[in-house]
Structure 1
Amino acid sequence: MKKRKVPLRKDIVTGEMHPKKELVRVVKNKQDEVSVDPTGKMPGRGAYIALDVKVAEQAKKQKTFDKAFGIKVGTEFYDDLVAYVDHQQARKELFGDDA
């Protein structure tokens, strides 16, 4: 059986390439609303960060998505992002790669 190609994406905080499953997509829509995209299919401009709390906190400190999307992103979004990444990281540790 042919081995499938694993899609890679760049983490905008660290600049490292990771498999798409190990990243979380953040999307900005046409109304300049920024949100976490758990499905990876929402319309709009997307950017990826690793499922790592340290990386999410670094993104908050550096205001990475403000720069990436060219708009002012509220601190409550960064707080939600850190919480989401923490939750997903805990799920991955509990249930493995299938979660």
Structure 2
Amino acid sequence: MQKVRKVPLRKCVGCQEMSDKRQLLRVVLTPEGEVLLDPTGKQNGRGAYLHGKLECLQLARKKKSLERALKTMIPDTVYDRLALSVEGVAK
């Protein structure tokens, strides 16, 4: 009999819904202080998760929940770059 593996769950910082880790996008604050989208999910640094929808990113920006999760201030240029990345991933 095979062992059933647990599915790791993470919470989207935008809509606050729990989802399978593989269905979410990871945003990471690198040790150098740069905020990036982490497609592999394995990059070093503090991470936060978002659904691959622009609405979740806009909610996270409005509520400043992404800033709280990463414990840093995020400039507007980074949000714009993340929006472009999320749109590219969603297609």
Could you tell me the TM-score, scaled by structure 1's length? Answer: 0.78
Distance 2:32 2:39 in 1: 19
The CA RMSD measured in Å over matched residues stands at: 1.7
1:1-99 alignment runs, 5 A limit: 2=2, 3-90=4-91
Percent identity (aligned): 39
Structure of higher RCO (CA pairs closer than 8 Å, 6+ residues apart): 2
Aligned residues: 90
Distance 2:38 2:59 in 1: 19
Structure 2: give runs of 5+ residues left out of the alignment: none
AA matched with 2:45? G
Moved over 6 A (4+): none
* Structure with more of its chain in helix, by fraction: 1
Distance 1:69 1:5 in 2: 26
Could you tell me the TM-score, scaled by structure 2's length? Answer: 0.83
